[in-house]
Amino acid sequence: MGKCAWDVVADRLIWVEDGVAGLPGGLADGRYACLACWESVMLSGYKPDAMISPYFRHQNGADCADLERERQADAEMKVVIQLRDWVRAIPGFTGTVEIVGEAKGGPSGLPPVVIAHCGDTTVAIERPGDHLPGPDAVRRRVRAAREHHGVERHVWFLKKDRDQFGQFGTHTVRLGGKDTVHDTLAPNEQQQAIIAAGGHVYWLDGKLVLVPYGIHRFRHSVRAGEDWTNWPRWRDPQDDWRISKPVPSPNADYWGLVPIPLTSMTRTRAVFHPAQAHQVMDELYAGQEGRYHWRRKHARELYAARNAPATPAAVAEAADAGQLIPPALPEQQGAVPEPPAAPDQTGLQVPNEPSDQSDSPAASPAPPDRTVSAPTPEPPSLPPTPPSPLPSAPPAAPPTAPPPPTVPVPPPYPPATPPAPLPEQRPRGLRGVLRRLLGGQ
């Protein structure tokens, strides 16, 4: 049991609340088809004196094979009829419900379109359900409305899809010197097909209409004399965006949405034209040019400030603040460090150097050395190797080593002398003690 059916003879959709005068009742040779299961349905309650309202039902009182889809079609039709009545309530407007762009034997599933007239302007207004048909059906719908009704603007008021709206979060823009948050969405294939066919896609949010614009993300390139790093209160100053308007470009990364009152779309002579949203888009476009120039200028200023030489006043100010500037390294000042002084050899005894004939069998052995010598120092003929300069300093010429000092040859050892005789031992015991006490020997 439903309130709408497909008229396969007249190629149109029938909504029984608009009246069924002149329509044949019953099966009518299979003229009426269910929009959900495509089976033939009967028109009942069509007589003027009927005690019930007209409705369509399946044969033998059976339910629709897709009962949920049948109820959904009735709900979508009810919304379209309310939209038509709202258009008729606007001064100077007329509205009718039409079926356009539908193929015989397989309707697209779209509810009928509202054709609004205001003077010489004709606008097609779509209010589809939760899902849109394929891109081919959408393009066929837009072309048929333009060809058969002379439609100048074809607008689609869609429902908000949480999954589609929540993919990219929100987008903060600068309007009137204040930050404003816009919703964003990732457009699907059907919505892009509407834009490509010359249509316009909007979203209803209560009494507001959300008008889309294109968002194109990009990164600023770093030029010579610019510094884009470590900006205070900036997450990534190179990350930026540009706008495509008044409709999003096909290559936009995602869409931003400008909210405007629904009533603002009927206040101008251009019927259902979002002039207020386009003014916001113009302000965003003008603001992006100024934003580009400001970021470039700030990057140059930061580079100049961070690479300027330190002045005496800056050094003094840093010292007062406790931020001491480390002294320059020797290699940064252009000076070459002097090699360390040779160790002092005063008082050290140098052992005899071996003779060239020391390994010969005929050579006499040298006398033993009875003097304890100090640790052998580095030979004076080889000065200590100076430390290598840092890679940043230019290579310096090695210092000229002074001539080695002449070490005097020690005199030959004296001949060995026999040990001196031991003194005579004094007598020990009581007799010796008495002698010493009496002064005797």
Query: pLDDT (tens digit, 9 = 90+) per residue, 347-405?
Result: 434 344 433 443 433 444 444 444 444 444 444 444 444 554 545 545 555 556 566 65
Same domain, 153 and 60: yes
> 182 and 273 in one domain?
yes
Residue 189 resides in a domain: yes
Phi, psi of 378 (to 5 degrees): -65, 135
Sort 1 into a burial class: Cβ within 10 Å, 0-12 / 13-18 / 19+: middle
More confident residue, 126 or 129: 126
Interval 400-426 mean pLDDT: 58
Percent of the chain with pLDDT over 90: 33
Q: Is the pLDDT of residue 321 over 90?
A: no
Mean pLDDT of 253-277: 86
Distance CA 215, CA 256 (A): 6
Mean pLDDT (the chain, rounded): 77
| Same structural domain, 202 and 300 | yes
Task: Specify which of 130-139, 316-325, 403-412, 431-440 reaches the highest per-range mean pLDDT.
Answer: 130-139
Task: Find the angle CA(70)-CA(157)-CA(82) to the nearest 5 degrees.
Answer: 60
**Domain end call among 252, 284, 304:** 304
51 and 108 fall within a common domain: yes
Give me 154's structure tokens. Answer: 């074809």
Above 50 in pLDDT, residue 30?
A: yes
Residue 14: pLDDT over 80: yes
Residues 143 and 213 in one domain: no
Provide mean pLDDT across the span 402-425: 58
Is 121 a member of any domain?
yes
* SS3 label, residue 321: coil
Q: Which residue has the higher pLDDT, 230 or 413?
A: 230
Q: How confident is the model at residue 145 (pLDDT cuts 50, 70, 90)?
A: very high
Q: Give pLDDT, residue 37.
A: 81
- For 112, the 3-state DSSP assignment is coil
Measured CA to CA, the distance from residue 38 to residue 34 in angstroms comes to 5
The span from the CA of 339 to the CA of 188, in Å, is 76
Q: Report the pLDDT value the prediction gives residue 203, as an integer from 0 to 100.
A: 94
Is 61 in the same domain as 142? yes
| 98-107, 352-361, 410-419, range with greatest mean pLDDT | 98-107
So what's the pLDDT on residue 367? 45
- Is 154 in the same domain as 9? yes
Query: Which pLDDT band holds residue 414 (cuts at 50, 70, 90)?
Result: low
DSSP lists the bridge partners of residue 179 as 174
CA distance 217 to 203: 23
> Which of residues 421 and 304 earns the better pLDDT score?
304
Residues 168, 84, single domain; the answer is: no
Domain that residue 12 falls in: 4-158
Say yes or no: 151 and 20 in one domain: yes
Looking at residue 161, its pLDDT comes to 84
Average pLDDT over residues 292-303: 93
Residue 98's pLDDT is 84
Give the residue with greater pLDDT, 266 vs 194. 194
What pLDDT, on the 0 to 100 scale, is given for residue 218?
A: 95
Flag whether pLDDT at 58 surpasses 80.
Answer: yes
Give the DSSP H or E segment for 290.
helix 275-306
